[in-house]
Amino acid sequence: MSIAFAIHVHTVYNYWASISRLARVPDFYIKEERAFDFLRATGIMKVILLLDVDGLGKADDIVDVNDGYARNFLFKRKMALEATVSNLNSIRLKKGSQAEKAKREKENAQSVASKLSGQKVILEMKAGEGGKLYGAVTSADVADSLGKLGFSTDKKNISIKGPIKSVGEFEATVKLHSEVSVNITVEVKTAG
């Protein structure tokens, strides 16, 4: 069972130093940048992960690792930073700016979705007897038609329910954001 307390770093170091017969460190010697140095004496280091590391954690997580693993592997491959106060503050600012950017992107996607909802995309394709197309309508064709209407989107973000191989009206979904998608109608007509 573990109990978490909010304790000053120098207090923990001084306690650890007293039970391991090391010299006590005066309070004025501990600086903010060296807040986690007492862990280094035990061979453990706190690091901030910059990338996802299998078996360790995701990006921006703060984890405890052996100091040799941190220095020889994580730091050299630029996968982690030492968990100093300045690095923690920079990560906190980075997370805040990323959250603000994600919020703006979602708002932009919602405004585009409101303009795009109810739109009808008309495609003219060559067809044979009975309205059967010589080819199939792909998401790239729908993306090109949306581009002509003034909505730029990638063909990977358009999903068509089933293959379109005949003339008629069909439903397609355009994914504008991870949380925003809109349904459109694709009307296929015979060319000529």
Residues 137 and 184 in one domain: yes
Please give the pLDDT value at position 175: 93
What's the burial of 96, exposed, middle or buried (CB within 10 Å: 0-12/13-18/19+)? exposed
**Whole-prediction pTM:** 0.59
CATH code of the domain in which 131 resides: 3.10.430.100
Residues 84 and 122 in one domain: no
Residues 84 and 117 in one domain: no
Rounded-to-integer distance, Cα 155 and Cα 111, Å: 20
Per-residue pLDDT of the chain (192 residues; tens, 9 = 90+): 445 555 555 566 566 555 554 444 454 444 454 555 555 567 888 999 999 999 999 988 889 999 899 999 999 999 999 999 999 898 889 889 999 999 999 999 999 999 988 889 999 988 888 889 888 899 999 999 998 988 888 889 999 988 889 999 999 999 999 899 999 999 999 886
| Residue 124 lies in domain | 113-190
Total domain count for the chain? 2
> Does any domain span residue 103?
no
Residues 72 and 124 in one domain: no
**Of the residues 89, 121, 137, the one at which a domain ends:** 89
Please give the pLDDT value at position 169: 92
Residues 120 and 61 in one domain: no
Question: 116: which residues sit within 8 A by CB, 6+ positions away?
Answer: 146, 151, 174, 176, 182, 184
CATH code of the domain in which 79 resides: 3.40.5.10
